[in-house]
Structure 1
Amino acid sequence: MYNHNNINTKKFLICFSLSILIMGVFSFSSLNKTSIFSKNKSEEASVFTPTKKNVNKASLLAVGDTMVYNAQLTGQYDVSTAKYNFNNNFEYVKKYVEDADYSMVNLETTLTGNKVYRYSSYPKFNSPDELADGLKYAGFDLISTANNHAYDKGDLSIKNTLATLKDKKLDVIGTRENNGDRYIVKNVNNIKIGITSYSYGRIINDNKYLNDVKISNEYKNSVNIFDSTSIDKAFNNINYTLKKMKDTDLQVVYLHWGDKYSLKENSFQQKLAQKLCDAGVDVIIGSHPHVVQPVTSIKSADGKHETVVAYSLGNFLSNQTRDQFNQYTEDGLMINIDISKNNTDEEAKVEKVTCIPTWLNKYYNSKTAKYVYEIIPLANKSDLDKINNLSESKIEKSYKNTAEQVKTSDLISIVENPFD
């Protein structure tokens, strides 16, 4: 006979226990949900709350003259493919070029093609399009084309060089289509950088001349030229463009100027640089002398602005060897320019300039019966030890030559001597 009281008691205890258990589960779940959601909101606030970066930073790299002489044409031609290849020239500097956020080079030759004109060197330069491929391979972003050789093969020089470089997805300043801008504005890590390039020349009665050759009416406005007969005229030519690109954070000007093979900037360079500094230009990069001239900084007349001036970065790639020209034409310089923009006051400035000397290594390869050209950065002893066919005495001398031209300061430095 069953005891109904016991059964009822057991049922009650079971139901009560289940109720307590269910309430506990819900309470535990509720507590945990509160804890989780509270934590997530806190995390979401830290992850998704928009914050404005206080300082943006970017780095620019600039190098000197890139030229191709007949000996280089022979050395870079591949008989098996019937094509030119310049990649090996840049193998050792490639990492420096690629590491910068934006890299620039002066192209002191034309890419006119070989359908109308043959490839040639001094005094009328015309190089294979593959040179542009080599510069692209090295990591360059921008090509400056305003120089005294820009019109060496006439109208086609400007037209074809511009078309080739743009086809390779390279930015171009110095030459342009007739309706194009004389400058470029690049947004590098949210810093707006205005860049232009000008070459010395003559402007007479609205006619323009490069190397005393009159540029056709069709193309005379396609090359950025400053009148080298007068400081004021030269400044006004350039300042016309500076005013156009005034709404930028930083202004960079490439200038083809100075005296060939002179280690010292001339009075014209000094005075023009000062006027550009007074106008607010932040960086001036010089080319044309084919040797390294001083790298320094100058102050505006009112003392409120400072401009970095590299009067000449020397040769980057060429056949201007010591035995043919002088003891300084194998020397070049890469300058790495660190810039910043404070987003609180919108002020942008050059933070630091690091100078990296280069030396052009040329040697004969008996297996290929060709000369080899390599641009060597004089920055790291362990890297130099891995490179064959180097003359230690020449590279030590090259570093010394260039170091003497760098006016070091809190702003400007040169990589440590790898030979010490």
Structure 2
Amino acid sequence: MQLSSKQKEYWNHANCRWNIKSGATRSGKTYLDYYIIPRRIRAVRGKEGLVVILGNTKGTLQRNIIEPLQKIFTPALVSDIRSDNTAMLFGEKCYCLGADRENQVDRIRGASIKYCYGDEVVTWHEGVFHMLKSRLDKPYSCFDGTCNPESPNHWFYKFLQSDADIYLQNYILDDNPFLSREFVENLKKEYRGTVLYDRYILGKWALAEGLIYKEFADNPKKFMIAKEDLPKQFDYIGIGHDFGGNKSNHAFVATGISFDNHVYKLRARSIQATGMSFHALEKELIDFVEGIIGDYGYPSGVYCDSAEQTMINSYRQHTTYPIYNSIKRPINDRIRCTLLLMGGERYHIVEGECDDLVRGLTTAVWDSQVLEDKRLDNGSSDIDILDADEYSFEYYIYRLVGNYDA
């Protein structure tokens, strides 16, 4: 295997109780672990304690860890994660568990752990990590983990600054010599002007503050496209729909995705929610969808805020449109997707058709009153239109910008 100088340093010197690689995306952090994991497991073979792999969810573990290990070492040495959340890795039974919720790891609570690998540690529930600290209780117990930086207020950053027995490496994107220069420059361009550049390019634990879509707010015209310049055909058309409350608006946004994965905001509309009946809102939906059908074709789906099941069921009874619940991916994943699309010049807005959405994107800010990254929600219509926009394409986040591999 070929290793960078940073990876060789970790291989030779990461011998603490906690061994952590933090830093930029695609900087080579996780690749090295495909060889660290079998080395650690073989070192504790036959000793008392469990082998555990923790990640955001069982699905991300299968995708990020198990499948790459299988490609290198074959399924004979690395099995899929089974229904009981275990896999056989290099002759050892290994528990593979999601760590996004505290109760996910109840089956290993109270057990001794001889080796644990941690994927995407900053996405874990803090209680899972505190449980893990008390379970690595053997003299030979150790942990390897990776993470991309988040806010310096994050609980894991505070742990990294503690006096625990930690071997910590910090990576920047340029630490990976095996990436093409073109890819590196494109990635830098996509993250430029956002807090994500500091985190995922420079590997810094940086605060999210001020305008979220600063580059857009500085020059909205850069993202505008004339209707006559749109692609002749779209691979996908989705309509996002958010329901407003007493002081906010109902919102609709139609998005077209081209075959080359550019995103086009075809039309957006925000309507005062106060005093509007279900019947009146249903008529507004029908008018909006029929307008999109007339101009662009039949939508793949209308994706509605899943909190309003009564209204969604009414839509299904009184229309023939494919009506779906939004899946409500984490808001920050939706924001990150939008930022990457903007940075990569793949986010376009039809001029004159999306004024409410333009206002929402221009005014969106991070909440300065909380410790974690959070979009400020002041109950205004600007938030409703942003949610509707994100619902319209969130099913295709991974297709559009990948899985943010570490």
- Tell me the TM-score normalized by structure 1: 0.22
Q: Between Structure 1 and Structure 2, which shows a larger proportion of helix residues?
A: 2
- Tell me the TM-score normalized by structure 2: 0.23
Q: Between Structure 1 and Structure 2, which shows a larger proportion of strand residues?
A: 1
Computing the radius of gyration from Cα coordinates, the structure with the larger value is 1
